[in-house]
Amino acid sequence: MKRNVLTRMICVAVLAVVACGGSSLAASEMPRADGQALLDFLKTSDYQSWSLFPGKGKLYEGRHPHGAFLTTYVSKDALAAIEAKKGMLPVGAILVKENYSPEKKLAAITAMYRVKGYDAEAGDWFWAKYATDGKILAEGKVKGCINCHQAVLVNDWIFTGPVK
């Protein structure tokens, strides 16, 4: 499968991969709640080197609105919380979902990023959606994301799999 521009940019090996996974970093090293800041962080941390959501492989069957096939990556702290069945992901946790068409072509990238004090009514999740060229399609307190994900409030707003 041919990689698109965003995937190539993200896959570039960067020294920032160190322990990046999105969590072993100090709060001051985490991106602010901003679509471009989060995208820059995802590029430099090489999110595709992160673990997959436990129990999910690459290109698992998806559903609307994300895509026919999905691949979900989780930051190190998110993975630790999920594996420990903590029931809630910690501040700084990031989930990145690659959304694919029925032909398994990357269509968009969506992210959930927990930011302390960002939006208590929606679990302090910052939501973002990116086109394959990196254009920000949605960011912040995205009503469509919040309205849908509130159905799984008891699972920390996450559909992909159990966190407790």
Within-domain flag for 95:
yes
| Predicted structure pTM score | 0.85
Q: What is the dihedral of CA 82, 59, 3, 111, to 10 degrees?
A: -40
Within-domain flag for 163:
no
Q: What is the dihedral of CA 104, 74, 143, 133, to 10 degrees?
A: -50
Q: What is the mean pLDDT of residues 151-161?
A: 97
**pLDDT at residue 29 in the model:** 87
- The domain in which residue 21 lies consists of 5-155
The CATH number of whichever domain residue 117 belongs to comes to 3.50.70
81-116 pLDDT tens trace: 999 999 999 999 999 999 999 999 999 999 999 999
Computed over every residue of the chain, the mean pLDDT equals 88
Within-domain flag for 134:
yes
Instruction: Give the whole-number percent of the chain exceeding pLDDT 90.
Output: 82
pLDDT at 1 over 70: no
Beta-strand ranges (E) seen in 65-156 are 69-74, 94-100, 106-114, 125-130, 136-140
**pLDDT at residue 25 in the model:** 56
β-pair partners for 51: 74
36-73 pLDDT tens trace: 999 999 999 999 999 999 999 999 999 999 999 999 99
* Buried b / exposed e along 63-83 (16+ C-beta atoms within 10 A): eeebbbbbbbbbbbbbbbbbe
Instruction: Give the whole-number percent of the chain exceeding pLDDT 70.
Output: 83
β-pair partners for 111: 96, 128
Beta-strand ranges (E) seen in 5-61 are 51-52, 60-61
Size of the chain, expressed as the number of residues it contains? 164
Domain count, the chain: 1
